[in-house]
Structure 1
Amino acid sequence: MAKYKVLKAFIDKNTKKEYGIDSDYSTTSEKRANELIEMGFLEALKPEPKTAENKPKGEKDESGQAE
């Protein structure tokens, strides 16, 4: 599920949920997110960088070493 930052307050026409400025908006519909981005309501959040805490076990780190 993709996450977005709300730039302008709005009420989602599909869910009737209200979103305030700087709140998070999550959706599985890329089409709906793109509509809201085009209208200036949202901006995409950058994915969180992988850290030792949220990296799957066995995945190689930056040095190429598996944990």
Structure 2
Amino acid sequence: MESIRATTTVEPTWRTSTYTGNTGQCVEVGPLPSAVAVRDTKRRTGPVLMFPSKAFEQAVRALAN
């Protein structure tokens, strides 16, 4: 698996899935130049998971099928 630097100077533009409604029971994603950041909507200042862009795209496609 490709490794991603843990620190970045670029702040992602976070967005929440439209499937969430207003429940707050989901995650937010934020694209970065070479990765996608994922965080818990209820813990916005908590930990962030980073996935290589390609791996995230493949996972989303696999889940959609």
TM-score range normalised by the length of the shorter chain = under 0.3
Flag the structure with larger Rg. 1
Normalised TM-score (structure 1): 0.22
Question: Which protein is richer in helix relative to its size?
Answer: 2
Normalised TM-score (structure 2): 0.23
Of structures 1 and 2, the one scoring higher in RCO (CA 8 A, sep 6+) is 1
